[in-house]
Amino acid sequence: MTSNDTNKKKRMTRIGRGILIVFTALMAWQVARLEFLQEERALRSELRQSIETTFPTLAEAARERYRLIRLTEAQPGRDEVVLVHGVDDPGKVWMNLAPALSAQGFGVSVMNYPNDQPIHDSAQLFADALQAEPMRDVRSISIVAHSMGGLVSRELLTHPNLVCAPPTCYRPHVDRLIMVGTPNHGSHLAMLRELGEAREQLYRIFTGQAGWFDGYFDGAGEAGIDLLPDSVFLTDLNARPHPAGTQMYVIAGVMGLEEAQQLADLFESEADENRLRQPLPLAESIGDGLVSFDSARLDGVPLYRVPGNHLSIVRNVSMTSDRVPPALPIVFDLLGGEAPVID
């Protein structure tokens, strides 16, 4: 072995040790955080509010993009549909569903909100948006929500301070809530939401949408704490009854579902041909890669299982793909539309 090879090997060893040390420190920090989550949540909120107070002009400019945007109006016989994104989503999750809905005559609106702030605050913003223009004359809507957007919508529909009742409150009645990849019982991966935040901010930088302190104006990470299993927020939310008068549905992704089913078929006798087939338990525990199958399900709510990961079940990687994301046909069926075609 030459001296260059020896030096290269030593350098790679040092790099490997460095990565291991950083990873170990990060994991230790995440474990330590579990003991002080509510204190951390309060400190994050104080920091965000302090930055907003110090830079009011920048904060106001950031708030301008957090609103309900009406894309198209519904044609006769079609629903008004409001799309609600999840945590750290830079705006691409509806790239396939929104145009497909519009093409079939559905009214389409998109609710943009500071996705890292406390989930209750996002639900309050959603409630306010539904009572203002451009939804003032709309009588009823269906909500399609991805990931944390389903929790924002459930909070809107069930929290005592947000439930709408005339004559003090007028907003469209929510006929359906379709939740796609929603962590109704939380996700441990929310501890690593900083990676998603970095992706979101990089997208905004490269698309010219970024501004100073935007990483705080869209929340200081309180939502990540709300998303953890058994969090104070989720414990309170899941203790409430489902909203009256609203049909709820869950669409959950399972990575490797097709492969798991093929393996199950190998061991299935002809006598069992008509029994309901289930994917392997491992596939369910993995879920869509971010949300486990058990976390998505809700008692008493119809559940649909589709193959794919957290994003691929609802959108393609690029606009040039003609693949139909597997959640879309189910969404259209629940809304009374036809199976979509992606051009």
> What is residue 10's predicted lDDT score, i.e. its pLDDT?
64
Q: Is the pLDDT of residue 59 over 70?
A: no
Q: Which of 63, 214, 205, 69 is nearest to 132 (CA)?
A: 69
C-alpha distance from residue 315 to each of 92, 152, 188, 263, 309 (Å): 8, 20, 24, 27, 10
> What is residue 117's predicted lDDT score, i.e. its pLDDT?
87
> What is residue 28's predicted lDDT score, i.e. its pLDDT?
54
CA dihedral sign, ordered 148, 152, 157, 161: positive
Question: Mind listing the pLDDT tens digit for each residue in 67-82?
Answer: 899 999 999 889 999 9
Q: What DSSP character marks residue 335? A: H
Q: Is the pLDDT of residue 20 over 90?
A: no
> What is residue 280's predicted lDDT score, i.e. its pLDDT?
45
For the record, the structure tokens of 11 come out as 């350098």
> What is residue 159's predicted lDDT score, i.e. its pLDDT?
96
Q: Is the pLDDT of residue 119 over 50?
A: yes
Q: What DSSP character marks residue 225? A: H
Contact 247, 336 (CB under 8 A): no
> What is residue 156's predicted lDDT score, i.e. its pLDDT?
97
Average pLDDT over residues 298-305: 95
* 14-23, 196-205, 225-234, 289-298, range with the lowest pLDDT: 196-205
> What is residue 187's predicted lDDT score, i.e. its pLDDT?
85
- Label residue 58 exposed, middle or buried (CB < 10 Å: 0-12, 13-18, 19+): middle
Contact 294, 138 (CB under 8 A): no
203 conformational bin, left if phi > 0, alpha if psi -120 to 50, beta if neither: alpha
> What is residue 278's predicted lDDT score, i.e. its pLDDT?
46
Q: Is the pLDDT of residue 106 over 60?
A: yes
Q: Is 262 helix (H, G, I), strand (E, B) or coil?
A: helix
> What is residue 39's predicted lDDT score, i.e. its pLDDT?
64
Q: What DSSP character marks residue 79? A: -
Q: Is 51 helix (H, G, I), strand (E, B) or coil?
A: helix
Q: Is 15 or 260 the better-scoring residue by pLDDT?
A: 15
Q: Can you tell me the distance from the alpha carbon of 278 to that of 33, in angstroms, rounded to the nearest whole number?
A: 37
> What is residue 302's predicted lDDT score, i.e. its pLDDT?
96
- As separate numbers, helices (DSSP H) first and strands (DSSP E) second, the chain gives 14, 7
Q: Is the pLDDT of residue 202 over 50?
A: no
> What is residue 267's predicted lDDT score, i.e. its pLDDT?
42
Q: Can you tell me the distance from the alpha carbon of 229 to that of 231, in angstroms, rounded to the nearest whole number?
A: 5
CA dihedral sign, ordered 100, 119, 305, 325: positive
CA dihedral sign, ordered 14, 16, 22, 24: negative
> What is residue 214's predicted lDDT score, i.e. its pLDDT?
55
pLDDT band at 21 (very low <50, low <70, confident <90, very high): low
pLDDT band at 44 (very low <50, low <70, confident <90, very high): low
Q: Is the pLDDT of residue 174 over 80?
A: yes
Q: Can you tell me the distance from the alpha carbon of 288 to that of 80, in angstroms, rounded to the nearest whole number?
A: 28
> What is residue 14's predicted lDDT score, i.e. its pLDDT?
73
Name the residue type at position 47.
L
> What is residue 201's predicted lDDT score, i.e. its pLDDT?
45
Q: Is the pLDDT of residue 136 over 90?
A: no
For the chain, list the strands marked E by DSSP: 68-72, 80-84, 107-111, 140-146, 173-180, 247-254, 303-307
> What is residue 65's predicted lDDT score, i.e. its pLDDT?
78
pLDDT band at 155 (very low <50, low <70, confident <90, very high): very high
Q: Mean pLDDT, the chain, as a whole number?
A: 78
Q: Which of 292, 117, 92 is nearest to 189 (CA)?
A: 292
Q: Is the pLDDT of residue 195 over 90?
A: no
* 31-35, 103-107, 141-145, range with the lowest pLDDT: 31-35
DSSP string, 140-183: EEEEEEETHHHHHHHHHHH-TTT---TTT----EEEEEEEES--
C-alpha distance from residue 231 to each of 81, 211, 223, 294 (Å): 30, 31, 11, 16
Highest averaged pLDDT of the listed ranges 55-59, 175-179, 226-230, 276-280: 175-179
Q: Is 251 helix (H, G, I), strand (E, B) or coil?
A: strand
208 conformational bin, left if phi > 0, alpha if psi -120 to 50, beta if neither: left
Return the percentage of the chain with pLDDT > 70, whole number: 65
